Amino acid sequence: MAAAGDPGSQDWDADGLRDIVRDYVIEHLADDDAVLVIDETGFLKQGKASCGVARQYTGSAGKITNCQIGVFAAYVSRHGHAFIDRALYLPKELDRRSRSPGSRLRAPRCRLCNQTKLATRMIARAIAASVPFKWVAGDPVYGVGDIEQQLRQAGKGYVLGLAALMCFDPGQAAIGRRQGRRHRLDACSSDWKRLSAGAGTKGPRLHDWCYLELADLEVEEFDNANHGLWTRGLLIRRNIVDGDLAFFTTWCPAATPIETLVAVEGHRWAIEDSFETAKNEFGLDHDESRSWHGWHRHVSLVMLAFAMMAVIRHRANPPPPKKRNAELQQKPKHSHAVMIRWSIQEVRRIAIRLARKRIQPARIIAWSLWRRAHQAAAQRAHFKANRQL
Give the Cα separation of 369 and 340 in Å (integer): 9
Indicate left, alpha or beta for 175 from its phi (over 0: left) and psi (-120 to 50: alpha): beta
In the chain, where are the structural domains located?
14-170+190-316, 334-388
The answer to whether the pTM exceeds 0.85 is: no
Residue 114: CB partners within 8 Å, gap ≥ 6? Answer: 89
Give the Cα separation of 262 and 192 in Å (integer): 12
Q: What is the pLDDT along the chain (389 residues), one digit of tens a residue?
A: 344 444 444 567 899 999 999 999 999 999 999 999 999 999 988 888 888 888 888 877 778 888 889 999 999 999 999 999 999 998 876 655 554 445 555 555 545 578 889 999 999 999 999 999 999 999 887 766 789 989 998 999 999 998 764 555 444 433 444 443 344 455 555 689 999 998 877 788 899 999 998 865 555 445 445 557 888 899 999 999 888 899 999 999 988 999 999 999 999 999 999 999 999 888 898 887 788 888 999 999 999 999 999 998 888 777 777 655 444 444 444 333 477 776 777 777 777 777 777 777 777 777 777 887 888 888 777 777 766 65
Q: State whether the Cα torsion 36-37-40-41 is positive or negative.
A: negative
Closest CA to 100 of 90, 110, 115: 110
Superfamily of domain 14-170+190-316: Transposase Inhibitor Protein From Tn5; Chain A, domain 1 (3.90.350.10)
